[in-house]
Structure 1
Amino acid sequence: MRTHAVSHPLVDHKLTQLRRVETPSNTFRDLTRELVSLLGYEASSSLPTEDAQIETPVTQMVGTRLAGPKPLVVPILRAGLGMLDGMTAMIPTAEVGFLGMARDEETLDIVTYAERLPDDLTGRHVFVLDPMLATGGTLVEAIRFLERAGAAKITCICLLAAPEGIKRLEDEVGDRDIELFVAAIDQKLNEKAYIVPGLGDAGDRLYGLAE
């Protein structure tokens, strides 16, 4: 497993605005979309390509296009939906699937309550979207689910990660071809398994429930 904390002035600026407690949900959604586009640009650098013969207004040439099979973007419901537009803006030809996973706030166990994916993911590059890598339980379960379906490569994109979550990923899936792209690695988890300093509950802030 390879972890990439994307360092860029625009990423740092937008993340700081995202963290602010006074940022309203409409601005939070816009910033999330912009941040995911920046992270997605970095995360998609390993997509396979092939030559493409084209004609410009001046002459013919050999350009480059994405090779098949199409990448698959999988937001984890519900908060991952707020990241979807930013990722599909970067890869408009990608297909989209969905995983519904939630953390039980008392036991911290991960419950899968919905799934909508292609039947066979053989050879597919899958991008998993989840705003917060806290305990790591959700991403571990999502990765296992996608590997069982045959995914060839899995790239996870998160806005924030805690060291505890990264360690769990490394311990449980670290020997596989997994990449993790984040805007920042924060200090720790608190007693409620929230990331510190974090940005609060991403789902609530995306959809106005925290206001």
Structure 2
Amino acid sequence: MNGVTIIDHPLVQHKLTLLRDKTRSTKVFRELFNEIGTLLCYEVTRDLPLEMVDVETPLASMKSPVLAGKKLVLAPVGRAGNGFLEGMLNLVPSARVAHVGVYRDPRTLVAVEYFFKAPDDMAERLALILHPMLATGNSAVAAIDRLKEAGAKAVRIVCLLATPQAIERVRAHHPDVHIWTAAVDDTINEAGFILPGLGDVGDRMYGTR
């Protein structure tokens, strides 16, 4: 699929199946989400640029690679996106965090912004939008719009599940934004939830269902 990378690593697929199970407790669901966030971060950052620096080991001098340039900006969308944050920060602790407060109106499915805050130097950083459920694509497009308005020039989306219609919407509005996802499910229902999906991520993560 153009502009989309399916993360088919066995550990990702295994943990996704565990998350889909409706009998999973809030505690375990949250722990699994944290773990899968780390794994997804590992995949989406696979091509980050490196530069060579001088290092003195206990035995010798050498050239060794480090990340080049500014570090990442992690941009969780809504409360569900926060589920990825800790796991990704464990892997990239120097990353900045942009808060993208967007929720989907339950009647119209239109994205509504309630808060936004991003670093001043967005133009110099790679922004990873943490958007676990790419269902309609409305919230993702709104998040990309706001980050680009804040100066972001390089944006990627990291999600757990996506639908074909959401991918098409994101690609239509922002063809430069690549999407990483663990799976592409069939469709959404009238309430905008992914089918077969795994239910309302925020409710399952925070015990508000």
TM-score by length of 1: 0.95
- Give structure 1 regions of 4+ aligned residues with deviation exceeding 6 angstroms: none
Deviation of 1:170 (Å): 1.4
Deviation of 1:45 (Å): 1.6
Q: Which residue of 2 aligns with 1:206?
A: 205
Deviation of 1:47 (Å): 1.8
Query: Which amino acid in the other structure matches residue 75 of structure 1?
Result: P
Q: Which residue of 1 aligns with 2:162?
A: 161
Query: Which amino acid in the other structure matches residue 183 of structure 2?
Result: A
Structure 1, unaligned stretches of length 5 or more? none
Counterpart check, 1:34 vs 2:35: yes
CA distance in structure 1 between the partners assigned to 2:7 and 2:59 by the alignment: 38
Deviation of 1:152 (Å): 2.1
Deviation of 1:58 (Å): 1.8
In 1, are the aligned partners of 2:74 and 2:98 still within 8 Å (CA)? yes
Deviation of 1:115 (Å): 1.1
Task: Say which is worse superposed, 193-202 or 71-80, in terms of deviation.
Answer: 71-80
Deviation of 1:46 (Å): 2.4
Deviation of 1:43 (Å): 0.3
Deviation of 1:82 (Å): 1.1
In 1, are the aligned partners of 2:96 and 2:119 still within 8 Å (CA)? no
CA distance in structure 2 between the partners assigned to 1:93 and 1:68 by the alignment: 12
In 1, are the aligned partners of 2:118 and 2:150 still within 8 Å (CA)? no
Q: Which residue of 2 aligns with 1:89?
A: 90
CA distance in structure 2 between the partners assigned to 1:127 and 1:172 by the alignment: 17
RMSD: 1.2
CA distance in structure 2 between the partners assigned to 1:39 and 1:117 by the alignment: 22
Deviation of 1:36 (Å): 1.2
Deviation of 1:106 (Å): 0.2
Query: Which amino acid in the other structure matches residue 125 of structure 2?
Result: R
Deviation of 1:134 (Å): 0.3
Q: Which residue of 2 aligns with 1:54?
A: 55
Structure 1 segment 30-179 matched on structure 2, within 5 A: 30-174=31-175, 176=176, 178-179=177-178
Structure 2, unaligned stretches of length 5 or more? none
CA distance in structure 1 between the partners assigned to 2:90 and 2:154 by the alignment: 21
Q: What secondary structure does 1:122 align onto?
A: helix
CA distance in structure 2 between the partners assigned to 1:58 and 1:96 by the alignment: 38
- Corresponding residue pairs, total: 208
Q: Which residue of 2 aligns with 1:187?
A: 186
Q: Deviations over 1:183-208 (max 9, x none)?
A: 11111111221101100000001101
CA distance in structure 1 between the partners assigned to 2:200 and 2:10 by the alignment: 24
Query: Which amino acid in the other structure matches residue 191 of structure 2?
Result: K
CA distance in structure 1 between the partners assigned to 2:178 and 2:91 by the alignment: 18
Deviation of 1:86 (Å): 1.2
Task: Say which is worse superposed, 40-49 or 192-201, in terms of deviation.
Answer: 40-49
Query: Which amino acid in the other structure matches residue 206 of structure 1?
Result: M
Deviation of 1:52 (Å): 1.6
TM-score by length of 2: 0.96
Query: Which amino acid in the other structure matches residue 35 of structure 1?
Result: I
